[in-house]
A = this chain, B = another copy of it.
Amino acid sequence: MDLDESCIVRHFNFYSPLSEEDKALLATLEDSASRVRAGTVLWEERDEADEFCTLKAGWAFSYRELENGTRQILEIYLPGDIIGLREFAFTQRLAGVQMVEDGEVCFFPHCNLVNIFRQSFTLTSILFAVASRQQILITERLVNLARRNARQKLAHFLLEIYQRLKQTHAHGSDSIRLPMSQEILADLLGLSPVHISRTFTALSEDGLVIRNRHKVTLPDLEALTQEAGFDDRYLIENIRPVLGGQGA
């Protein structure tokens, strides 16, 4: 396997340079990829939590279902992300996970990760950073949900995805592929699908986004950033160097 081709290696490498051994260790997590179709539920709330999973291709999301029949989407996972860290210390799933589109995932048992982290302090500290980052993403989403109006919420989300894609999947243009339905966006942003549609239209009319099927172009990043109150500090992280000291 070409180690540099592994999504998770590329992702971890973004945090801190990896030795060849670390890369090899990490890559073992992506051994047995399996294809999954759009809409597949990887697991549901309350399932036993004894595995993690890396996302090799396709987008996914975690969600909570409420008594009142609504659904709140918590996180969007992009290729290279580790799914299931939320329950690192728990025995039960606290949220379900579903595929947005067709993709590829690699399941591996909880103990694999623990073993890897026993062998490499570098990887351990990166895991901490990755888990922290997920918490930061959630926090920012919370602020977004609580304090911004529909227009800002949508703009903010588009910028977040744009930035995240740029970091790990180098793309030069100002366009992104956005494979999610407006219903998913609504469940993510705490709005109704109808209002997502209206808001998208409004942003288009103001020349802030151009939509073409699942391709979205952001022709004026500056203005959109301004409008959304978007500050990418929470994505461009300031990672503390390896926790204690020595490497593997």
Residues of A that sit less than 8 Å from B by CB: 64, 66-68, 70, 72, 74, 86-92, 94-95, 110, 114, 118, 125, 128-129, 131-136, 138-139, 141-143, 145-147, 190, 229, 234, 237-240, 243-244
Q: B147 to A66, Cβ gap below 8 A?
A: yes
> Residues of B contacting A114 with CB < 8 Å?
243-244
> Residues of B contacting A135 with CB < 8 Å?
86, 131, 134-135, 138
Q: A190 to B132, Cβ gap below 8 A?
A: no
Q: Given A142-B72, A147-B190, A128–B95 Cβ distance below 8 Å?
A: no
Q: B238 to A91, Cβ gap below 8 A?
A: yes
Choose one: B86, B89, B229, B238; the contact of A125 (CB below 8 Å). Answer: B89
Q: Could you say which of A95, A142, A146 has the most chain B C-beta atoms within 10 Å of its C-beta?
A: A146
A-B interface, 6 closest residue pairs, ranked by CB to CB distance from nearest: A146-B190, A89-B129, A89-B132, A67-B229, A142-B142, A145-B146
Choose one: B70, B90, B133, B142; the contact of A132 (CB below 8 Å). Answer: B90
Q: A132 to B88, Cβ gap below 8 A?
A: yes
Bound Cα distance from A124 to B136, whole angstroms:
21
> Residues of B contacting A244 with CB < 8 Å?
114, 118
Q: Given A88-B128, A91-B238, A239-B89, A68–B118 Cβ distance below 8 Å?
A: no
Q: Could you say which of A128, A131, A134, A240 has the most chain B C-beta atoms within 10 Å of its C-beta?
A: A240
Q: Could you say which of A68, A72, A138, A142 has the most chain B C-beta atoms within 10 Å of its C-beta?
A: A142
Query: Which partner residue on chain B sits nearest A190 by CB separation?
Result: B146
Query: Which partner residue on chain B sits nearest A49 by CB separation?
Result: B240
